[in-house]
A and B are shown apart, each in its own frame.
Chain A
Amino acid sequence: MNSTALIHAIIDGVLTGSVYALMATGLTLIFGVMDIINVAQGILVILGAYLSYALSAHFGIDLFVGLAITIPTLFVVGIVVERLFLARLKGPERTAMSILVTYAISLVIEGALNMIFSVNPVQLHAWYVNQSFGIFGIYIAYIYVFGFLLAAGLLAALYVMLYRTRFGASIRASLADQTAAALIGIDVKRVATICFGIGVAVTAAGGMVYGATNTFNASTSYDLISRLLVIIVLGGMGSLGGALLAGILMVTLEDIVAVAWSPVWSQISFFVVLVIVLSLRPQGLFGKQSARVA
Chain B
Amino acid sequence: MNRKGKLFRTLGVTSVAAASMMMMATSSGAASSSSIAKGQPVKIGISLSLSGDFSADGQAFAQGYKLWAADVNAAGGLLGHKVVLDIKSDASSPTQVVTNYKTLISVDHVNLTFGPFSTLLTLPSAQTVNRYGYAMIEGAGGGPSIFQAGLKNVFDVTLPVAYDLAPFTKWVTSLPAGTRPKTIAYATSNDPFTQPVVQTAQKLIGSKIKTVYNKVFPAELTDFTAIADAVAASKAQVVVLGSVDVPTVAAFMQAFQQAHYTPKAFIATAGPDQGATFVKAVGAANANGMMVPNSWFGGSKNPSSVKMVASYIKKYGGTAAGVNADVAEAYSVGQVMAQAVTATKGFDNKKIIAYLHSGVTLNSVQGAVKFDALGQNLAQTAYTFQWQGAKFVQVNPVGDPGSVKVLYPKPAWGK
Give residues in A with beta carbon < 8 Å to B.
Answer: 2, 4-5, 8-9, 12-13, 16, 110, 114, 118-123, 125, 129-132, 134, 139, 141, 213-220, 222-224, 227, 251, 254-256, 258-259, 262-264, 266-267
Q: Is the CB of A121 within 8 A of B246?
A: yes
Excluding A110-B51, A122-B281, 13 further A-B contacts by CB distance (< 8 Å) are A4-B233, A5-B229, A9-B226, A214-B223, A216-B247, A219-B52, A219-B92, A220-B222, A222-B52, A263-B217, A263-B226, A264-B218, A267-B218
CB of B250 within 8 Å of the partner chain: yes
CB of B4 within 8 Å of the partner chain: no
CB of B37 within 8 Å of the partner chain: no
Contacting residue for A121 out of B56, B260, B413, CB 8 A: B56
Q: How far is B91's CA from A222's CA once the two chains are assembled, in angstroms?
A: 11
Task: Return chain A residues, CB-CB under 8 Å to B55.
Answer: 114, 119, 217, 219
Q: How far is B260's CA from A222's CA once the two chains are assembled, in angstroms?
A: 32
Closest A residue to B92 by CB, please name it: A219
Q: Is the CB of B250 within 8 A of A258?
A: no
Q: Is the CB of A267 within 8 A of B220?
A: yes
Contacting residue for A264 out of B216, B229, B414, CB 8 A: B216
Q: How far is the CB of A67 from chain B (nearest CB, A)?
A: 21
Q: Is the CB of A215 within 8 A of B226?
A: no
Q: Is the CB of B230 within 8 A of A129?
A: no
Closest B residue to A255 by CB, please name it: B226
Task: Return chain A residues, CB-CB under 8 Å to B229.
Answer: 5, 8-9, 12, 259
Contacting residue for B217 out of A119, A129, A216, A264, CB 8 A: A264
Q: Is the CB of B226 within 8 A of A13?
A: yes
CB of B282 within 8 Å of the partner chain: yes
Given that A125-B283, A215-B246 are contacting pairs, would A120 and B227 also be in contact in the complex, using a CB cutoff of 8 Å?
no
Closest B residue to A5 by CB, please name it: B233
Q: How far is B216's CA from A224's CA once the two chains are assembled, in angstroms?
A: 22
Given that A125-B283, A131-B258 are contacting pairs, would A214 and B233 also be in contact in the complex, using a CB cutoff of 8 Å?
no
With contacts defined as CB atoms under 8 Å apart, how many contacts are there between chain A and chain B in the complex?
125
Contacting residue for A259 out of B92, B226, B283, CB 8 A: B226
Contacting residue for B56 out of A129, A217, A227, CB 8 A: A217
Q: Is the CB of B233 within 8 A of A263?
A: no
Q: Is the CB of B215 within 8 A of A119?
A: no
Q: How far is the CB of B276 from chain A (nearest CB, A)?
A: 8
Q: How far is B281's CA from A216's CA once the two chains are assembled, in angstroms?
A: 9
Given that A219-B92, A223-B222, A263-B221 are contacting pairs, would A119 and B50 also be in contact in the complex, using a CB cutoff of 8 Å?
yes
Q: Is the CB of B247 within 8 A of A130?
A: no
CB of B280 within 8 Å of the partner chain: yes
Q: How far is the CB of B387 from chain A (nearest CB, A)?
A: 17
Interface size class of B (residues with CB under 8 A): 35 or more
Given that A4-B233, A266-B218, A267-B218 are contacting pairs, would A119 and B56 also be in contact in the complex, using a CB cutoff of 8 Å?
yes
Q: Is the CB of A130 within 8 A of B259?
A: no
Closest B residue to A12 by CB, please name it: B225
CB of B106 within 8 Å of the partner chain: no
Contacting residue for A119 out of B59, B221, B281, CB 8 A: B59
Q: How far is B285's CA from A17's CA once the two chains are assembled, in angstroms?
A: 30
Task: Return chain A residues, CB-CB under 8 Å to B218.
Answer: 263-264, 266-267
Task: Return chain A residues, CB-CB under 8 Å to B281.
Answer: 120-123, 215
Task: Return chain A residues, CB-CB under 8 Å to B277.
Answer: 120-121
Q: How far is B222's CA from A224's CA once the two chains are assembled, in angstroms?
A: 9
Q: How far is B282's CA from A122's CA once the two chains are assembled, in angstroms?
A: 8
Q: Is the CB of A8 within 8 A of B251?
A: no
CB of B372 within 8 Å of the partner chain: no
Q: Of B220, B230, B257, which is in contact with the most chain A CB atoms at under 10 Å from its CB?
A: B230
Q: Is the CB of A139 within 8 A of B258?
A: yes
Q: Is the CB of B254 within 8 A of A129?
A: yes
List, sorted by A's number, 6 A–B pairs whose CB atoms are closer than 8 Å.
A16-B223, A114-B51, A213-B254, A214-B223, A215-B281, A254-B223
Contacting residue for A266 out of B51, B221, B251, CB 8 A: B221
Q: Is the CB of B247 within 8 A of A215?
A: yes
Closest B residue to A8 by CB, please name it: B229
Q: Of B52, B55, B215, B277, which is in contact with the most chain A CB atoms at under 10 Å from its CB?
A: B55
Given that A9-B226, A16-B223 are contacting pairs, would A219 and B51 also be in contact in the complex, using a CB cutoff of 8 Å?
yes
CB of B190 within 8 Å of the partner chain: yes
Task: Return chain B residues, CB-CB under 8 Å to A219.
Answer: 51-53, 55, 92
Q: How far is B53's CA from A217's CA once the two chains are assembled, in angstroms?
A: 9
Closest A residue to B414 by CB, please name it: A130
Task: Return chain A residues, CB-CB under 8 Å to B222.
Answer: 214, 220, 223-224, 227
Q: How far is the CB of B415 from chain A (nearest CB, A)?
A: 13
Q: How far is B226's CA from A189's CA once the two chains are assembled, in angstroms?
A: 43
Q: Is the CB of A215 within 8 A of B250?
A: yes
Task: Return chain B residues, CB-CB under 8 Å to A8.
Answer: 226, 229, 233
